[in-house]
Amino acid sequence: MSETQLRTRALASVEYAHQSEKLSLETSGQTIDGADHGVAVQAKFITPLDPVIETADGNRLPSVPVPEAHRINLLKHQAEGRPYHPSPTRPRGLSRFDVVEAATAAQAEQKQEAHAAQEQQTQADHESTNSRLDEAIPPSHTHPLFPPLPLYGPPSLFREIQCATFRTTSFFLSNAFLVVIVLGAVFTSIPRLLNNFWLWLTFRSADTRRPFYEEEKRRANNRRLQEVEWTRKQKRATPVKAGLSAFPDDTYEPLEGGPDPLICDIGYYARRVGLDVEEFKVQTEDGFVLRLWHVFNPLEYTPAAQSEREPTSSEVFTSGRSGRQGHVRKQYRDGNRRYPVLLVHGLLQSAGAYCTNDDDSLAFFLCKSGYDVWLGNNRCGFNPEHSLLRYSDPRMWAWNIRQMGVLDLPALMSRVLEETGFQKLGLVCHSQGTTQTFVALAKEQRPDLGDKISVFCALAPAVYAGPLIGKMYFKFMRVISPAMFRMFFGIHSFIPLMMTMHRVLPGKLYGAMGYLVFSFLFNWTDTRWDRGLRDRLFQFSPVYVSAESMRWWLGRECFANHRCVLATREEGQMEDVEDESEEEQKEETMAHRQDRGRTAWYDERVPPMALWVAGSDDLVDGRRLLRRFARGREPYVNIVHSKVIEEYEHLDVIWALDAVEQVGKEVRDVLWKTMSEEAKTACRKISGVVGSDPDAEPRTLRSDEK
């Protein structure tokens, strides 16, 4: 090896050490006993635009800007005397179809590049020692809907001062913002309170105008009977007389009862309906630890030991793990297995939102129907946890909807499939959960996830923005610059005072305040809810979310500006023009249809979809998504079910008194119809599904189900 080659590689080694320190957990002076704890080794690209940092001790650090990831990999390869072939990224201005074509062409040319690799390395070895090593790094191209996240290096004096500054300013400004919202909610509720007071003075009740008033009274009376019966059984330990049982199903006798203490514990509410819950921990590919709740029937399933519910690996869908029989799989024999269904929650919520309506909760309804129900929680949630990072580290909070889709969703799906032993699962999502799924399945993200999903059920799909985005307080967030947004809301969790109030306020007061504030923010009402359970509904929200995530939703650069999760404002305007012209012409040329295929979000790997749209939803525009599918803009998407419920608002799809009739039973049926024949043979029959349960009464399918 020549002297020039030695100098070039020595220089690369020095630069690599500097870049490694820049991306490591701690600086070299802060490492413990000189160990390699958290030292950055290289970047791993989950997708071409989603790199994570691998450390020497086998852990992961969250995503970093693409150029920084390419640089550490380039320098590592240069120091080792190997050529570097980065993954292709999307050039600005190219369509999604062009990106896929470019990636395919790159793979076809890979052999030619490998053949020329030796010559390239020889030429590189003869470069001058003054040459820039980052010249081989591909230019940085970012998706206009997903701008790069900030890069926070390891702890330093400057970074600590920066964090302290943002913590101080955001403490006062974000809490002031929250106070303004609370005052606005109180002020706007005054007319309603005055009207109710007037009705009371005139010996009338506003509740009689509610659409389910009689049903609410019946359920409230039934809950009182259950409380009395539970108390009597606990005190006397004697059997209840025949004919006096208030419990609807003897098969699922409650394991908890009495007056509702309003606590944030889905296990407690599961036991009230004869079920139970175990918690698994799942590690994402960038090191976050997620909570995955498994709902089960305690009469037929024994929970796993704590050691079996810990994170197994940061890798997902690996062949070695998929061959392992999980604890769940071992307890069900073929012919009596339960088909896995993963439920993912919405913005500022946890998966507990699916468990608040007793037997009418979607999670409990599906479990009692015969499915194996898993509840997935996104990163941070109620208990922020990472394999390396601490709560105070800003890198713990440098993520948005892209990371939840590309990293959280695969980790949750992988663990469910690992534990149950199935090749596919049913995926049911609400609001933001649908957003992260629509993002993850896009052909330039992780379209291979579609091969693991038998059907994607989207409840109140959040793809296009509704009219609510124009409200004054949302406009304020969109007007201020990114730097000012961070001054207002910090670089850590978004308004953490909400979580503090969640911990210290009594459940009834917190539930009332939660409804008041969130109904003011999002135009929700409790018109179709069981008001007797309303305080319980808000015990599982809000959760910790990052300020960067809220900036993606409401800031000036992303969703609030483009009003779509996968199309820019310009692309949306082109869709509007095309729709208007189609109404006039009523015809489409073949070339036009092919062009639409080129701009589609999804390819042939996309799973079947079923959509339930709330017709009175101001937060998102589900009708526009249905129109996109109806116009043929997604030729590979198979819509197996679609329904617009005109009177429903955003949360009614999971909380309305008739949600089981309007949504739950249809979700149950769609999950069964889209299962593979092999899975149907291995699984037990689903209660209530036509063609599955021989004792079920036949029902007529609507036109959109045929």
Is 101 a residue whose pLDDT tops 90? no
Q: How far apart are the first and last CA of the chain?
A: 72
For 561-588, what is the mean pLDDT?
A: 79
Residue 150 lies in a domain: no
Distances (CA, A) of 179 to 172, 175, 185, 187: 10, 6, 10, 12
Structural domains in the chain (count): 2
Residues 402 and 541 in one domain: yes
Residues 416 and 279 in one domain: yes
For 239-264, what is the mean pLDDT?
A: 69
Residues 298 and 447 in one domain: yes
CB atoms within 10 A of CB 476: 13
**Which residue would you say has higher pLDDT here, 249 or 347?**
347
Is 481 a residue whose pLDDT tops 70? yes
Q: What is the pLDDT of residue 82?
A: 84
Residues 267 and 118 in one domain: no
Q: What is the pLDDT of residue 88?
A: 54
End position of a domain, from candidates 121, 142, 163? 142
Residue among 41, 101, 51 at smallest CA distance from 77:
41
Residue 505 lies in a domain: no
Distances (CA, A) of 130 to 4, 8, 124: 11, 9, 12
Rounded to 5°, the CA angle 33-35-40 comes to: 140
End position of a domain, from candidates 82, 110, 142? 142
What is the DSSP secondary-structure string of 361-382? Answer: SHHHHHHHHT-EEEEE--SSBT
Which one-letter DSSP state was computed for residue 608? P
What's the mean pLDDT when you consider all of the chain? 85
Q: What is the pLDDT of residue 87?
A: 60
Residues 268 and 133 in one domain: no
Rounded Cα gap, residues 346 and 428, in angstroms: 11
CB atoms within 10 A of CB 650: 25
pLDDT in tens, 612-654: 999 999 999 999 999 999 999 999 999 999 999 999 999 999 9
Residues 134 and 267 in one domain: no
Residue 580 lies in a domain: no
Count of positions (residues) in the chain: 706
Residue 510 lies in a domain: no
**Which residue would you say has higher pLDDT here, 592 or 103?**
592
pLDDT band at 670 (very low <50, low <70, confident <90, very high): very high
**pTM value?**
0.89
CB atoms within 10 A of CB 704: 13
Q: Under a CB-based contact definition with an 8 Å cutoff, are residues 43 and 54 in contact?
A: yes
Rounded Cα gap, residues 426 and 343, in angstroms: 9
Residues 336 and 474 in one domain: yes
CB atoms within 10 A of CB 332: 18
Which three-class secondary structure state does DSSP give residue 278?
strand
Q: Which range marks the domain in which residue 441 is found? A: 262-478+525-566+601-682
End position of a domain, from candidates 93, 122, 142? 142
Q: Under a CB-based contact definition with an 8 Å cutoff, are residues 518 and 178 in contact?
A: no
Question: Between the ranges 97-101, 475-479, 584-588, 631-635, where is the mean pLDDT highest?
Answer: 631-635
Q: What are phi and psi of 341, to 5 degrees?
A: -130, 125
**Which residue would you say has higher pLDDT here, 330 or 410?**
410
pLDDT band at 99 (very low <50, low <70, confident <90, very high): very low
Residues 308 and 454 in one domain: yes
Rounded Cα gap, residues 481 and 479, in angstroms: 7
304: alpha, beta or left, given left = phi > 0 and alpha = psi -120 to 50?
beta
pLDDT band at 691 (very low <50, low <70, confident <90, very high): low
Which one-letter DSSP state was computed for residue 335? T
Residue 408, both tokens? 């959280």
Residue 494 lies in a domain: no
Is 312 a residue whose pLDDT tops 90? no
Residue 616, both tokens? 């009175």
Residue with tokens 């030619």: 112
Which of 132-141, 432-441, 528-537, 552-561 shows the lowest per-residue confidence on average (mean pLDDT)? Answer: 132-141
pLDDT in tens, 326-381: 778 888 888 889 999 999 999 999 999 999 999 999 999 999 999 999 999 999 99
Is 600 a residue whose pLDDT tops 90? yes
Residues 322 and 466 in one domain: yes
Tally DSSP H helices, then E strands, for the chain.
28, 11
Residue 162, both tokens? 């920066």
Residue among 91, 88, 79 at smallest CA distance from 42:
79
Percentage helix, strand, coil for the chain under 3-state DSSP, each rounded to 5: 50, 10, 40
Q: What is the pLDDT of residue 677?
A: 95
Residue 605 lies in a domain: yes
Residues 537 and 674 in one domain: yes
Q: Look up the CATH number of the domain holding residue 274.
A: 3.40.50.1820
For 275-302, what is the mean pLDDT?
A: 96
Which are the catalytic amino acids? 431, 617, 650
Residue 215 lies in a domain: no
Residue 472 lies in a domain: yes
Rounded to 5°, the CA angle 659-661-663 comes to: 55
Q: Under a CB-based contact definition with an 8 Å cutoff, are residues 339 and 671 in contact?
A: yes
Which residues fall within 8 angstroms of residue 144, CB to CB, at 6 or more apart? 562, 568
Is 699 a residue whose pLDDT tops 50? no
Rounded Cα gap, residues 541 and 413, in angstroms: 23
